Amino acid sequence: MDGLQHVLDTFFDLPLIFGTLPSLLREGLLNTLLLTVLASVIGLIIGVALASGLMSRHRLLRLPCRWYVDVLRGLPHILSIYLIGQGLPLAGITVFGSWTYGYAALAIGLMEGAYMAEIFRSGFQSVEKGIVEAARSLGLSRARTMRLIVIPIGFRRVLPALTGQFILVIKSTALVYLLGLATGQREMFAIAQDSSSNNASLSPLVAAGLLYLVITVPLTYVVNAWDRRMREGRPAVALPPVEAAA
């Protein structure tokens, strides 16, 4: 009986859980979502640029993009966050001044950009050659074909995968506590970690875990349903009018 009570005190101390929830919801959840959005925007921009580079015919453009993707996907996330989030300010590259959030979002965004690049590349390359050839036959240049045809179609096809990657970004925000966020900037894991250390109990971390599940589990089901719907059938693709080639 004492053993069971010890387990409950360690993981399911209800007064401590309910005492931590207000900070998790008021400060942690908002900062987690803000950091996720910032990092995702950075990742999307980098991902599209890298995917275009990976598909380039020019070796000098394609190889650096491939190296970037391989290195950032190969490094542990915790190491990348240290090298980028702490390394840039230490090296004197203070693009965000003392705004730790900027470095945290940049660190996650640079990592996620490598993963999103492969997602975009697969989506862009899934566009049927007949559609591309039809667009070129209308007089569209290769660049305009990419911008008007390939990117819009490919982007729609990878939306479920991108949403799944967004879920991973949410979970990756838990690592930014390593950068030493100040009070008012802490995300959910940082708040739970501080409370656990102060109270010698893992119950606050359990509370944070439950909030992560509340966010990620419904999104996972949405992604799965969306992906099934996309696989069942894709809508017809309309090419731009002939006069667009002028």
The confidence band for 123, taking pLDDT boundaries of 50, 70 and 90, is confident
Q: State the Cα–Cα distance between residues 155 and 126, nearest whole angstrom.
A: 10
Q: Supply the mean pLDDT for the chain.
A: 82
pTM, full prediction:
0.80
More confident: 189 or 11: 189
The confidence band for 52, taking pLDDT boundaries of 50, 70 and 90, is confident
pLDDT at 246 over 60: no
pLDDT score for 114: 92
How many Å from the N-terminal Cα to the C-terminal Cα in the chain?
82
Residue indicated by tokens 């909030």: 211
CATH architecture of 2-234: Orthogonal Bundle (1.10)
pLDDT score for 244: 40
Dihedral of alpha carbons 216, 222, 228, 231, sign: negative
DSSP codes joined into one string, 141-205? -HHHHIIIIIHHHHHHHTHHHHHHHHHHHHHHGGGGGGG-PPTTT--HHHHHHHHHHHHT-SHHH
Distances in whole angstroms, Cα of residue 198 to Cα of each of 10, 16, 20, 109, 192: 13, 11, 12, 31, 10
pLDDT score for 234: 54
Q: State the Cα–Cα distance between residues 77 and 178, nearest whole angstrom.
A: 11
SS3 content of the chain, % helix, strand, coil (to 5): 80, 0, 20
Backbone angles phi, psi at 156, to 5 degrees: -65, -35
Residue indicated by tokens 């069971």: 4
Q: State the Cα–Cα distance between residues 128 and 153, nearest whole angstrom.
A: 10
Q: List pLDDT tens digits, range 165-212.
A: 888 899 888 888 777 766 677 888 888 888 888 888 888 999 999 999
pLDDT score for 239: 40
Q: State the Cα–Cα distance between residues 245 and 242, nearest whole angstrom.
A: 6
pLDDT at 64 over 80: yes
Distances in whole angstroms, Cα of residue 81 to Cα of each of 102, 151, 177, 208: 12, 30, 10, 21
